[in-house]
Amino acid sequence: MTYTPVVSIAYHSGYGHTAVIAEAVKVGAIEAGATVHMIKVDEIDEAKWELLTASDAIIFGSPTYMGTASGAFHVFAEASSKIWFVAGWQDKVAAGFTNSGSKSGDKGNTLDYFQTLASQHGMSWVNLGLKPGWNSSTGSENDLNRLGFFDGATAQSNGDQGPEFVHKADIATAEHLGSRVTEQTRVLLAGRAALASV
């Protein structure tokens, strides 16, 4: 039996760069066979909250501002406490992605924040599953995971350039994340079905 995971991408984008990464995550998930919902957390309504709760996986995304996720994402995370009280996201799959202006830019803090949020909800975190790129004499800035993060997909965007200049390697890394989350969620769904039939 083939399982079609339902994946929601809950994200905020301040200037459009993170939205490019969110779309890349979507492409990777769809190509791997998922049904995908894009949810802008600063425009969320009751119907979109219900979509999140009905999803098999939720991928969190935000720019990294001042060492953490954006204020708009924090508002969303705090509002999710209503779901926490009823364990509405318990045992769902979770993952994350972020973007900043600097190569490092303290993006790890944002991914850690997403992981903590997921853990509070009792979700299962999926990491990037890639070795770091661009870390040898034969490496290139065009390598997947060129920024060398493990917890999720990251991107670096120059502050004086628009979203159309988001690095192609970062877009490809985000596509990989969408695919990996879909595949891991499919394994989880198949495992649950197998256990239920025992």
Residues in the chain: 198
Q: Per-residue pLDDT averaged across 19-28, rounded? A: 98
* Average pLDDT score over the chain: 97
Q: What angle do CA 57, 60, 61 make, to 5 degrees?
A: 145
Contact 120, 77 (CB under 8 A): no
β-strand 153-156 against 57-65: which pairing, if any?
A: unpaired
Contacts of 122 (CB under 8 A, 6+ apart): 87, 89, 90, 91
Q: Is 94 exposed, middle or buried (0-12, 13-18, 19+ CB in 10 A)?
A: buried
Contact 110, 154 (CB under 8 A): no
- What residue type is 179 in one-letter code? S
pLDDT in tens, 107-126: 999 999 999 999 999 999 99
Contact 77, 107 (CB under 8 A): no
**pLDDT at residue 98 greater than cutoff 90:** yes
**Does the global pTM surpass 0.85?**
yes
Q: Per-residue pLDDT averaged across 143-163, rounded? A: 97
Contacts of 103 (CB under 8 A, 6+ apart): 147, 156
**What is the predicted pLDDT for the residue at 1?**
76
pLDDT in tens, 43-60: 999 999 999 999 999 999
Lowest-confidence segment of 70-74, 114-118, 194-198 by average pLDDT: 194-198
Q: Residue 73: which pLDDT band, with cuts at 50, 70 and 90?
A: very high
- What residue type is 144 in one-letter code? L
Q: Per-residue pLDDT averaged across 11-35, rounded? A: 98
**What is the predicted pLDDT for the residue at 198?**
84
Residue in 163, 174, 183 with CA at minimum distance from that of residue 27 = 174
Contact 7, 36 (CB under 8 A): yes
Q: Residue 2: which pLDDT band, with cuts at 50, 70 and 90?
A: confident
